[in-house]
Structure 1
């Protein structure tokens, strides 16, 4: 299957079986190709070809027989992350032509050989979902906060993030943003974020972050070298600026680490929503590229918790919900917001690149 012929086919995220495995890989090829990631597309295309072969040893046998929902489990990215880690560690020099963007015609054989040589290292990468934590996504959150202040909510935000991973977005108070010419954050920040801005500028009234807590079922400690490598391995190698942002986040975490609880999203949210809220603050649930990994039953519980908390919200203690998640019908990531009281209807503020490269603002 040539990369330019890969098609993105909408399938049920919970689908299982060999066809679902193949579709997950083909979708990933098309998605990477269409989002400026030809190296990652080549890796996933090679893995897709291995599905119809006997190559790849125990790792690929496990992939072919995957019992869970391959799409929801992000199966292609689990394997691709492990391969990228091999390259970053310098353990498999034969992969260098792929990751240097040379597009070798024997990429499938190179990857099959690497998988067979490094089974003990790669097998654990199949055990859990990808850990992606991208500072660029916080630019969408910042724009949404400006919008909320413009709609009358207090500009002192108390953040609750689910699926925090390493908690990079919890540190956004220390980041500097240029959002279509609207400047937010400390001028001397190590993390400087300037997404390509499309559309009218966001509102200009500033805000402050007075609290930031998150949760993850498997939080990542950025101060641990091996855990930081895992995050780096899930960065698509084409996006070199993301590596620079991750290094800046590691530096920030070593100075003052974010607060991340090892909890399920629904348990964390239930506990935090029951805590007293200081008057004059806006409590915000936020998340980015995590909703697809939360089980459906848990998602339903989170919606119920937010609706119940929304009914309790008052003018002096409002509640908001800001998310940047994929729309499975349009294949675009959408920045959406709800707030209580008075504004609980879900609104789409923008579409955005999944890693923060651009924001198409609707406001």
Structure 2
């Protein structure tokens, strides 16, 4: 499978078996290539090339015989995260030509040898889904908040984030944004986020964040070096600005850590929606690149909770739902928003780069 020949094919997320495994890797190669992540595309291509061989020991046998749905389980990214962590550890110099962007022709051989030498290190990376947390995604949230204010909702937002990971986006009150020339956030902020803006500028409004709480089934502590190392392994190595943003977020967390509970999304949301809401505030459920990892029955319960809470909302205590998630049909990430009491009218506000490099505004 050549990187330039890889095709992204829409398939059933719950599909299992060898063909589904191969499709998951080819889709990931195409996705990484199209998002200018050539190194990660090469890593996934190399592993995909090993599927029809006997290389890679027990690690690759587990990959080939993956029991669950490889697409829904983000199997290629579990493997890529483990290999990136191995490279970052300095214990496998054989991977350096790949991660230095040299594009070696024998990438599959280099990856196979690394896997066989470090099977014990890599095997645990298959046990759970990737943990990604990217401050750049919060620019999409900020743009959506501007739009909500223009719709007449109070500009004092009380945030509830599910799948918070390390809580990087829960700290967005401390970030400064330049959104197509519309600037919001503290002028002296250390974190400054200015995605490439496409289309008309968002509404030139202001907003404030009066509360921010989140949950994750396996939250990451930004003050713990070991946990931070794991988070860094899931950052695609091509995007050096992401590492810089993470370091700034780590510094912010040491000063005042985000509020995150170790809890299922539906349980966290049910609890928070039952709590009194201060009048003159907008309560917001927000999430990014997490919906696909939440079990279907739990997603259905979240929808029911939001619809029920929306029926209780009024102009002084409105409810909004903002998300940045992948559209599996279009192969793009979409920023969507809905709010109550106007009714459950979901609006597609923008498409955006999955790591915040650009936003194409529709409004």
Q: Identify whether the pair has TM-score above 0.5, normalized to the shorter chain.
A: yes
Matched residues in 2 for 1:91 and 1:224: separation? Answer: 21
Normalised by the length of structure 1, the TM-score is 0.99
Q: Could you say what secondary structure the match of 1:277 adopts?
A: coil
1:88 aligned residue: 88
Matched residues in 2 for 1:343 and 1:197: separation? Answer: 29
Whether 1:41 and 2:41 are equivalent positions in the alignment is yes
Matched residues in 2 for 1:249 and 1:233: separation? Answer: 16
Matched residues in 1 for 2:154 and 2:289: separation? Answer: 26
Q: Could you say what secondary structure the match of 2:40 adopts?
A: helix
Residues 49-96 of structure 1: per-residue CA shift (max 9 Å, x gap): 111000011110100110001000000000110110111111111111
2:197 aligned residue: 197
Whether 1:14 and 2:14 are equivalent positions in the alignment is yes
| 1:263 Cα offset (Å) | 0.5
Matched residues in 1 for 2:8 and 2:75: separation? Answer: 16
1:37-186 correspondence to structure 2 within 5 Å: 37-186=37-186
Whether 1:335 and 2:344 are equivalent positions in the alignment is no
Structure 1 unaligned runs (5+)?
none
1:362 aligned residue: 362
Residues 99-156 of structure 1: per-residue CA shift (max 9 Å, x gap): 0000011111110011111111100000000000000000000000000001100000
2:285 aligned residue: 285
Q: Which runs of 4+ in 1 moved over 2 A?
A: none
Residues 8-45 of structure 1: per-residue CA shift (max 9 Å, x gap): 11111111111111100000001001110110000000
1:232 aligned residue: 232
1:352 aligned residue: 352
Matched residues in 2 for 1:102 and 1:187: separation? Answer: 40
Structure 2 unaligned runs (5+)?
none
Normalised by the length of structure 2, the TM-score is 0.99
| 1:188 Cα offset (Å) | 1.4
| 1:343 Cα offset (Å) | 3.7
Matched residues in 1 for 2:343 and 2:32: separation? Answer: 36
1:218 aligned residue: 218
Matched residues in 2 for 1:98 and 1:29: separation? Answer: 15
Residues 268-311 of structure 1: per-residue CA shift (max 9 Å, x gap): 00000000000000000000000000111110000000000000
Matched residues in 2 for 1:246 and 1:16: separation? Answer: 35
